[in-house]
Amino acid sequence: MLPYLIRRTRGLMTAAALASILSGLFSVLLIAQINAALTSDSASRASAAWAFAGIAVALMVCRMVSTALFERLGQRALAELRSFVAQCVAQTPFAQFERVGSARIQSALTEHSNNVAVLFVSLPVILTNTVIVVGCLGYLAMLSWQVFLFALGVIGLGAVGYHLVHLRAIHYLQSASSEQDRLFGHFRALTDGAKELRLHQRKSRVFMDQILGESVEGVRRLRTYGMSLFVISTSWGQFLMYAFIGLVLFVLAGDGPNQTQVMTGFALVFVFMVTPLEGLLINIPRINMARVAASRIDDITREMPQGQERQVSPQVPALQRLELRDVTHQYYHEQSDDFFELGPINLSFTPGEVVFLVGGNGSGKTTLAKVVVGLYPPEGGEVLLNGERVEADGWDAYRQLFSVVFSDFHLFERLLEAPRDGLDEEGNRLLAKLHLQHKVRVENGAFTTQALSQGQRKRLALVVAYLEDRPFLVFDEWAADQDPLFKEVFYCEVLPELKRMGKAVLVITHDDRYFHLADRLVRLESGKLLTAESETAEEPLAEPSSAT
Contact by Cβ (8 Å): 520, 356 = yes
- pLDDT tens sequence across 384-417: 999 999 988 888 889 989 999 998 888 887 777 6
At 304, which amino acid appears?
A: M
CA–CA dist 353, 499 (Å, integer): 6
- Could you tell me the pLDDT band of residue 533, with boundaries at 50, 70 and 90? very low
Residues paired with residue 45 on neighbouring β-strands, in sequence order: none
Closest of 305, 299, 294 to residue 89, by C-alpha: 305
- Could you tell me the pLDDT band of residue 25, with boundaries at 50, 70 and 90? confident
Environment class of 392 (CB within 10 Å of its CB; exposed 0-12, middle 13-18, buried 19+): exposed
- pLDDT tens sequence across 179-226: 887 888 788 788 777 767 776 777 788 888 888 888 899 888 988 888
Length of the chain: 548
Cα–Cα distances in angstroms (integers) from residue 144 to residues 127, 192, 265, in the given order: 26, 68, 10
- Mean pLDDT for all residues in the chain: 81
Query: In the 8-state DSSP scheme, what is residue 420?
Result: -
Contact by Cβ (8 Å): 519, 536 = yes
CA–CA dist 524, 439 (Å, integer): 38
Domains 2-302 and 322-529 share a fold: no
Is residue 426 predicted with pLDDT exceeding 60?
yes
- pLDDT tens sequence across 267-294: 777 777 777 876 776 777 777 778 888 8
CA–CA dist 285, 5 (Å, integer): 19
- Could you tell me the pLDDT band of residue 538, with boundaries at 50, 70 and 90? very low
Q: What is the dihedral of CA 309, 310, 312, 316, to 10 degrees?
A: 60
Contact by Cβ (8 Å): 327, 153 = no
The alpha carbons of the chain give a radius of gyration, in whole angstroms, of: 34
pLDDT at 349: 96
Is residue 537 predicted with pLDDT exceeding 60?
no
Contact by Cβ (8 Å): 94, 376 = yes
Query: In the 8-state DSSP scheme, what is residue 512?
Result: G
Contact by Cβ (8 Å): 504, 351 = yes
- Could you tell me the pLDDT band of residue 40, with boundaries at 50, 70 and 90? low
How many CA atoms lie less than 13 Å away from 48 in the CB half-sphere? 16
Order of all β-strands in the sheet with 354-358: 402-405, 472-476, 504-508, 354-358, 520-525, 528-529
Contacts of 122 (CB under 8 A, 6+ apart): 283, 286, 287
Task: Give percent above pLDDT 90 in the chain.
Answer: 18
End-to-end Cα separation, the chain, in angstroms: 57
- pLDDT tens sequence across 315-365: 677 899 999 999 999 876 555 556 788 979 999 999 999 999 999 888 889
CATH of domain 2-302: 1.20.1560.10
Query: In the 8-state DSSP scheme, what is residue 210?
Result: I
Contact by Cβ (8 Å): 365, 528 = no
Contacts of 90 (CB under 8 A, 6+ apart): 310
CA–CA dist 540, 340 (Å, integer): 34
Question: Does residue 36 or residue 352 have the better pLDDT?
Answer: 352
Closest of 519, 517, 548, 547 to residue 533, by C-alpha: 519
- Could you tell me the pLDDT band of residue 535, with boundaries at 50, 70 and 90? very low
Cα–Cα distances in angstroms (integers) from residue 361 to residues 226, 366, 509, 510, in the given order: 48, 10, 11, 10
DSSP secondary structure, 381-402, as one string = EEEEETTEE--GGGHHHHHTTE
pLDDT at 506: 97
SS (H, E, C) 115-175: HHHHHHHHHHHHHHHHHHHHHHHHHHHHHCHHHHHHHHHHHHHHHHHHHHHHHHHHHHHHH
Residue ranges of alpha helices (H) inside 303-404 are 365-372, 395-399
Contact by Cβ (8 Å): 28, 139 = yes
CATH of domain 322-529: 3.40.50.300
At 421, which amino acid appears?
A: D
Query: In the 8-state DSSP scheme, what is residue 494?
Result: I
pLDDT at 357: 95
- pLDDT tens sequence across 131-186: 888 888 787 787 777 777 877 777 777 767 776 777 788 788 778 877 887 888 78
pLDDT at 417: 65
pLDDT at 540: 45
Peptide bond into 285 cis (omega under 30): no
Task: Record the pTM.
Answer: 0.67
pLDDT at 262: 67
- pLDDT tens sequence across 485-531: 889 989 999 999 999 999 999 999 999 899 999 999 999 998 898 85
DSSP secondary structure, 231-292, as one string = HHHHHHHHHHHHHHHHHIIIII----TTHHHHHHHHHHHHHHHHHHHHHHHHHHHHHHHHHH
pLDDT at 545: 40
pLDDT at 367: 92
Sequence ranges of the domains in the chain: 2-302, 322-529
